[in-house]
Structure 1
Amino acid sequence: MHTVALVVAAGRGERFGAALPKQYASLAGKPILRHAVEAFLAHPLIDAVRVVIGPEDRSLYDAATRGLDLLPPVIGGASRQETVRRGLESLEPLAPDHVLVHDAARPLVSAAVIGRVVAALEHHPAVLPVLPVVDTLKRVADGLVAGEAARDGLARAQTPQGFRFPLILAAHRAAEDRGYTDDTAIAAAAGLEVATVAGESRNMKLTLPEDLGLAEALLRSPALRWRTGLGFDVHAFAEGRPLILCGVRIPHDRGLAGHSDADVAFHAVTDAILGTLGAGDIGTHFPPGDPRWRDADSARFLRHAVELLAARGGRIENVDLVIVCERPKIGPHREAMTARLAEVLGVGPDQVGIKATTSEKLGFTGRGEGIAAQAVVSVALPERAG
């Protein structure tokens, strides 16, 4: 096996205040442990998952993981360090290349974090997902502020922590049980270099009773993945046609040639949105030879792309559009064009940028033969596992 996930679930979680160990408490209708395990089972880079449990918890474990394709569980020890070591030793017959050690109390780990850790293991012996420390840190004694602590160079550690399996197994076996609560500390003590990757605030550790409500709120609001699409379009000038840019009729002696209204700006933005979805280009959805689209308002094409994005649960974050031509001047019409583009997209005008430039008399735009447009669109999409 290449990569195995080891989920640590042997703790008692006294601060959580539940009748059961917290990993078996219900989160949105499922045990916390099951949420964590399913994240790894669903990931294409994880070959197998094993859970390390407390000696009294076998019946709770069986109920929480019923129906899941897991390696048989292993009984943990008196400390977290011993628990992880036992889990690692149980994997030795499988001889995986990599192991990811994860706390069961982090049920919202995303596919993106798992993927970053696995990818970094190709170049580093140990990998730690971290978050920056953004709050001011204070030293407190007897309920009073006793000073400040510099936060420069500090980071908040998360799991899964990834390791090259033979190295972390040897490090655990060599380490004295000093109450380590973090496996990268054991790796560092053994002289292993520990690289960091970006964690996520969503990947919180459930410690106190109020954390459960926050985790449920986060589950209702799925993790987002940002994507960027690029669109480019060109139309030649033609006599006897109106010039339409971003849905606005621009006074000019010629319009643009095309099967539809030839709105080169809307076409570029449409292709950029379709690019964020991997959904082909405008011609795929609206073939230029189809008589239904003759002289059609290109806002129809743009709305279609927006609807496809919405159907995936996505939203537009911003649009940056560049129009290239010698004439007409775009500046006098920029405000109207921005308003119309924002209206069709269903976003605020502050999320739309429209710029114009010339090609310094070079090329077909420089010779006044047509107009080109290039658009970059950033969107947020709910993350899919894997």
Structure 2
Amino acid sequence: MNNYFVILAAGNSKRFSKNKNKQFFNYKNKEIIDHSIIKSLESKLFKKIIVVTNNLSYLKKKKYPKIISIIKGGKERADSSLIALKYLKKFKPKNILIHDAARPDFSIKLLKNLIKLLKKNKAVIPFTSPRDSIKYKINDHFFNLDRKKAFLTQTPQAFRYKILYELYRKQKSNITDEATLFIANNQKIRFITGDIGNNKITYIDDVKLIKTFYGIGFDIHRLVKDKKLYLGGIKIPFHSGLEGHSDGDVILHAVIDAILGASRKKDIGTYFPNSKKFKNIKSPKMLKPILDNLKKSDYSINNLDINLICEQPKVSKYRNKIINSISRLTNLDKNSINLKGKTVEKLGLIGKEKAIACEVIISINKYD
């Protein structure tokens, strides 16, 4: 195993942020640069990993394993690559992979494939095909480019060290990747299919992630004779209904509390106290403003898991109707709603058919 991995992380990220270099921005619970470092370590494919940066003091504080060397980079990307190549010369490497830290989503599978194909090739470059129509401009004229013939190259890019080093020594102009260097010198390249998700992070919007929050809701009401029973927003034929300041719909009340819990907005009593204003209010009317506020805050419901706890009525008989009602009220796909019926083995008020309870777990998403 005579493979070496170079991570280029010396850019100043002008297009990303004025306040922070993107390689040190938090992405999927790690700094962007650490994704590349961790994957290269976990792959166990490399004798040494070189991180090229202009923030030596910060990275050295992290106390990486000895296999990792941190060196100072240059002004341009090509300068940093050459610095790394010169540094590695003393180790007499056979193969070298050069990677941009701004691509944290490459796979270890891709690393293995690149190294495997280097056995019979001087250079192996991953690419994806463009999805958009492409135009290019020469002077004042525009031309259509056949996207079937266009390659969007990625990193890591793999090379025989000696060939890459010699080409860099002779290179005078600035280049944006090592594949450009090989093409400019009429060197043969093996292009392979890259990772679809291995996109380069350039702008702050590229790291907008979905954040998921969870909430738990619970409600219980006594059953009383000669009152209508509402569950999940629909009337259920039964000899008793649920006692409460409102219509007593334990399912929708638990859904509301779960939403408020996930969005950190206190509880149902905060918004609907036992006052004259809300006497006998229908639960769908209580749910609507809670959902409106959720939407205004850029949250969306991912799924609902509902436990209806009662001896009677049997949940299985009304499951589909209740799910369809909740789907309509929340504008949530019914396949994202689960309703389970639970009994309590005749124990307590619920077991004596004197009460019905409901608990709900919800997950909601928000783009950060």
TM-score (norm 1): 0.51
Q: Distance in 2 between matches of 1:83 and 1:216?
A: 20
Distance 2:107 2:311 in 1: 48
Instruction: Please state how far the C-alpha of 1:240 moved relative to its aligned partner.
Output: 2.5
Residue 142 of structure 1: aligned partner: 121
1:379 Cα deviation from its structure 2 partner: 1.1
* Pair 1:131–1:290, CA change in 2 (3 A): farther
- Secondary structure, counterpart of 2:12 in structure 1: helix
Q: 1:361 and 2:346 equivalent?
A: yes
Deviation, structure 1 residue 280: 0.8
Q: Which amino acid aligns with 1:250?
A: I
Question: Residue 148 of structure 1 corresponds to which residue in structure 2?
Answer: none
| Structure 2 residue 210 is the aligned partner of structure 1 residue 218 | no
Following the alignment from structure 2 to structure 1, what is the Cα–Cα distance between the partners of residues 333 and 302? 10
Residue 15 of structure 2, aligned match among 14, 26, 30: 26
Q: Alpha carbon RMSD of aligned pairs, Å?
A: 4.4
Question: Equivalences for 1:160-199 in 2 at 5 Å?
Answer: none
- In structure 2, give the amino acid aligned to 1:274: L
* Aligned 1:110-121 pairs, distance under 5 A: none
Return the offset for 1:336: 0.8
Q: 1:253 to 1:134 in 2, by over 3 A?
A: farther
User: Cα–Cα, structure 1 residues 81 and 369, in superposed 2: closer, same or farther, change >3 Å?
Assistant: closer
Distance 1:82 1:228 in 2: 40
1:33-79 alpha-carbon deviations (Å, 9 max, x no partner): 74538958xxxxx9xxxxxxxxxxxxxxxxxxxxxxxxxxxxxxxx9
Match of 1:185 in 2: none
**Gap change, CA 1:370 and 1:23, over 3 Å in 2:** same
Partner of 1:316: 301
After superposition, the C-alpha distances for 1:93-120 in whole angstroms (9 at most, x for unaligned) are: xxx8x6899x999xxxxxxxxxxxxxxx
Aligned partner of 1:269 in structure 2 is 255
The one of 230, 243, 266 equivalent to 1:280 is 266
Q: Which residue of 2 aligns with 1:257?
A: 243
The answer (yes or no) to whether the contact 2:310–2:356 under 8 Å persists in 1 is: yes
One-letter amino acid matched to 2:121: D
Which AA in structure 1 matches 2:206?
L
Say whether 1:374 aligns with 2:353. no
The one-letter amino acid paired with 1:230 is I
Change (3 A) 1:91 1:329: closer
Query: Is residue 243 of structure 1 aligned with residue 229 of structure 2?
Result: yes
Separation of aligned partners in 2, 1:143 and 1:134:
20
Task: Please give the alpha-carbon distance, in whole angstroms, between the structure 2 residues aligned to 1:304 and 1:259.
Answer: 18
Distance (whole Å) between structure 2 residues aligned to residue 142 and residue 39 of structure 1: 36
Shift in alpha-carbon separation, 1:131–1:358, aligned structure 2, 3 A? farther
Conservation of the 8 A alpha-carbon contact between 2:256 and 2:290: yes
SS of alignment partner, residue 26 of structure 1? coil
Q: 2:284 aligns with which of 295, 299, 305?
A: 299
**1:325 aligns to what?**
310
Deviation at 1:232, TM superposition (A): 0.7
CA distance in 1, matches of 2:260, 2:242: 23
* SS of residue in 2 equivalent to 1:259: coil
How big is each residue's C-alpha offset from its partner over 1:177-204, in whole Å with a ceiling of 9 and x where there is no partner? xxxxxxxxxxxxxxxxxxxxxxxx9x97
The alignment partner of 1:23 has SS state of: coil
Relative distance call for 1:227 and 1:361 in structure 2 (3 A) is: same
- Compared with structure 1, are the counterparts of its residues 258 and 23 closer, same or farther at alpha carbon in structure 2 (3 Å cutoff)? same
1:83–1:372 CA distance, 2 compared to 1 (3 A)? closer
Distance 1:363 1:308, change over 3 A: same
Paired residues of 2:252 and 2:287 also in contact (CA < 8 A) = yes
Deviation at 1:217, TM superposition (A): 5.8
Alignment partners' CA distance in 1, 2:346 and 2:25: 56
Q: Does 1:87 align with 2:76?
A: no
TM-aligned CA deviation for residue 306 of structure 1: 2.0
d(CA) in 1 for partners of 2:9 and 2:121? 34
2:216–2:362 Cα contact (<8 Å) kept: yes
How many residues align? The count is 236
Residue 184 of structure 2 is matched in structure 1 by: none
Which amino acid in 2 is paired with 1:285? Y
Aligned equivalent of 2:334, options 349, 352, 357: 349
Q: Which structure is larger by alpha-carbon Rg, 1 or 2?
A: 2
Question: 1:134 offset after TM fit, Å?
Answer: 5.9
> How far has the Cα of 1:274 moved from its partner?
0.5
Instruction: From the superposition, tell whether residues 277 and 24 of structure 1 become closer, same or farther in structure 2 (CA, over 3 Å).
Output: closer
The CA distance in 2 between the partners of 1:266 and 1:314, in whole Å, is 19
What is the rounded CA distance, in whole Å, between the counterparts of 1:240 and 1:227 in structure 2? Answer: 40
